[in-house]
Amino acid sequence: MPQTPQTPETPEAPETPETETPDSRGAVAEAFRQEWGRVVAALIGMTGNWDLAEECAQDAFAQALKSWPRDGVPRRPGAWLTTVARNRALDRLRRGAAEAAKLREAAVLTPIDEPDDDDESGIRDDRLRLMFTCCHPALPLEARVALTLRTLAGLTTAEIARAFLVPEPTMAKRLVRAKHKIRDAGIPYRVPPAHLLSERTAGVLAVLYLLFNEGYAASSGADLVRQGLCTEAIRLARALAQLMPDEPEALGLLALMLLHYARRATRVDDDGDLITLEDQDRRRWVRPEIEEGAAVLEAAVRRGQPGPYQLQAAIAACHATAAQAAGTDWAQIARLYGELARVAPSPVVELNRAVAVAMSDGPAAGLKLVAAIEASGELSGYYLVPATRADLLRRLGRWAEAAASYGAARDLAATDAERRYLDRRLTEASSHS
């Protein structure tokens, strides 16, 4: 969550709360998860100023931290926050002589209300407009993704930097350059017409993919799974699939999300500790979501245009449809990863392929592939490389080497759940060495 100012100005409360809620701070946190993107997107649409939109949204949440404990949580927190942020933006524009023209334009706007949830196309959704604006082809792909994660989902610069495996200052500069590019190039804030949709597809899909991944396997913090980000990514993926029904990769990405998200309740235990795929209770997987994901994937495959998201969804389907871990078709998964490495090469894909090969052909075969990845240096600092090496060494009974690798992975892990899991494995390996 962006840093909130400690002494924001106090606007007139836009709505009278109906009930008081003792856990108002928790309500603000929940409102941030649910409403940040909507508030920022609405303000960008109104002002055209990205920094002003973020600052005023931030002020609105800071005001909520002061007002809600005193007055109670509003019946419609999103509308309250949007109104406070809008009023703050108008105040800021009035004080800026250079913004006089924009003020005249803003003054004729009708008050912002929540989007019409009955609109199934997704086109009227401010957040979808914001996503397509961020994903304009004039921006580099990584800038498109990073900017949308920052403005739409409210991820910090540090969280986005971890998702890209780059230093935080590097990511901060990319975000600034992207905002300046949108301003200087006059990139419009809208869903593009049909004949321009295809050129935006890759960027939009990448945004959704990283947004879901940040929720499904958080890059930092106490919680491994941040369900709010996952559900937001799935919601937007559905809207995109409705907007582009003939785009198989949009369907493939939606299928991938559903198949993974169906396992959310089994990824950590009651104490928040990580549970590996082979040890998860498959009876608790959400079967309707698995069935929907499989059906969406089938619809995508029928179009005969395979792509990386469809391949990843096919891999997820292999896991999700196996009744028991021992029945997983690892040979098929290894083949799918090989094809994925061909169409979308990356060191992370190669690492996943190494795991699949190890499960199919034995840990020694997988260990050779991991060694090659380490030698390349492309995933230096990525905790899953030593963690994977440690697991394969453990399976080979090479306990002392496994313990050293678990220790290295533990030092690189970013979430508490991952560190606790690696601590347990380290203790186990040390007791055998």
Q: Where do we find the tokens 């313990």?
A: 403
Q: Residue ranges of the chain with pLDDT lower than 50?
A: 1-22, 110-123, 220-222, 224-225
Residues 392 and 413 in one domain: yes
Domain check: are 40 and 90 in the same one? yes
Residue 342: Cβ-neighbour burial (10 angstroms; 0-12, 13-18, 19+): exposed
Tokens 């937001």 identify what position? 232
Q: Which of 73, 91, 109 is the last residue of a domain?
A: 109
Let me know whether 334 and 350 are in one domain.
yes
- For the chain, the 3-state helix, strand and coil shares in percent, each to the nearest 5, are 70, 0, 30
Asked if residue 266 lies in contact with residue 279, where contact means CB atoms within 8 angstroms, the answer is no
pLDDT digits 0-9 by tens, 231-290: 878 988 988 888 788 899 999 999 999 999 999 999 888 888 889 999 999 999 999 999
Same domain? 105 vs 29: yes
Domain finish residue from 61, 76, 109: 109
CA distances to 169, 302, 413, 418 from 406, in Å: 29, 43, 10, 11
Query: Which residues, listed in sequence order, are joined to residue 221 by a DSSP beta bridge?
Result: 415
Residue 84: CA count within 13 A, CB half-sphere? 32
The total of structural domains in the chain comes to: 3
Q: Is residue 308 part of a domain?
A: no
63 and 51, same structural domain?
A: yes
**Cβ burial, residue 197 (10 Å; 0-12/13-18/19+):** middle
Sort 30 into a burial class: Cβ within 10 Å, 0-12 / 13-18 / 19+: middle
Among candidate residues 89, 109, 129, the one where a domain is terminated: 109
What's the whole-model pTM score? 0.70
Q: Please check whether residue 193 lies inside any domain of the structure.
A: no
- Whether 48 and 98 share a structural domain: yes
pLDDT given for residue 260 in this prediction: 96
Q: Cα–Cα–Cα angle for 245, 198, 149, nearest 5°? A: 90
Report pLDDT for 110.
43
Residue 159 lies in a domain: no
Give the CA distances from residue 270 to residues 225, 273, 428, in Å, rounded to whole numbers and listed in that order: 13, 7, 21
Domain with 41, as residue range(s), is 24-109
Res 140: pLDDT? 86
Domain shared by 41 and 84, yes or no? yes
Residue 284: both structure tokens together: 């608790």
Q: Are residues 39 and 61 in the same domain?
A: yes
